[in-house]
Amino acid sequence: MKNFKNILVTGANGQLARCLKDASRDYPNYNFFFKTSKELDITNEKEIQTLFTELNFDYCINCAAYTAVDKAEDDKENAFLVNAEGVKFLAKACKSFETVLIHISTDFVFDGTKNSPYTENDITNPINVYGASKLKGEEYIKNILENYFIIRTSWVYSEFGNNFVKTMLKLGKDRNNLSVVDDQIGSPTFAEDLARLILEIIDSNSLEYGIHNFSNDGEISWYEFAQEIFQESKISIELKPLKSSEYPTKAKRPKYSVLSKLKIRNALSTEIPLWKNSLKKCLVSLEQDIANKNS
């Protein structure tokens, strides 16, 4: 068995890819190839074919995605181009070159009408363009490949890029009061935890192919998430709960999109951190970043 692997990571500027880059330092035997959207446009099939021909990849981790949920409602063509057609091109290349594809999907493939955690076998029914485009990408993978991992995740945040945690911290400094929706329930995912799970899949040479759910443990509303962010960061702000109907957005969101992690636990015998513990870890890292910049 090979003790080294060539691993392609697309969407290298995104949160998850940047966490993968940090975590990759613990895997010196592996060759990682991080490609930004400018270095590898996944909607360009020729570019993909050329790269796969030049480098014999064992794994392709697809972090490239169109993630602007509200914008996608008016930009359907581009959302489907990246989240579906681009994924199809990657899947075809993975098939030709016998590369295992690890693709990141979303809780938004569900409509949110369930009252218990969604399993990998539950019926999908996206209620916005973003969710529909991601589901189409999943379908392409399932039709083209046998050896693949589709990882559905939710509410991703990290020290990198734009996300809910960083937005709350910024608003907490700029405002005296804030309203956050309290009737959308889900599970946050610290991108570092997801990155380590992906590398564990690769390092263990897992053959548990198919769809897997992953997020941190626990279920909360966005309001409760904001509450914990401010409490942990010792930010004093008047926080008010808000109904989704009082804060209309272009794209509809699932009311409940908690993901069951039973399958991934059994497949990898992995520990899944509680969301509060991972949030603390992220906030400590963000504080250290600020301290380093100011020193």
Number of Cα atoms under 13 Å in the Cβ half of residue 227: 10
Phi, psi of 191 (to 5 degrees): -60, -30
What is the chain's length? 295
- Give me the amino acid identity at 107: D
Tell me the CA distances in angstroms from 238 to 169, 175, 226, 227, one per residue in order.
Answer: 14, 9, 11, 10
Give the contacts of 119 (CB within 8 A, at least 6 positions apart): 213, 260, 262, 263
Q: Which two tokens stand for residue 117?
A: 């955690």
Q: Which residues are catalytic?
A: 130
> How far apart, in whole angstroms, are the C-alpha atoms of residue 258 and residue 114?
9
Q: By three-state DSSP, how is residue 198 classified? A: helix
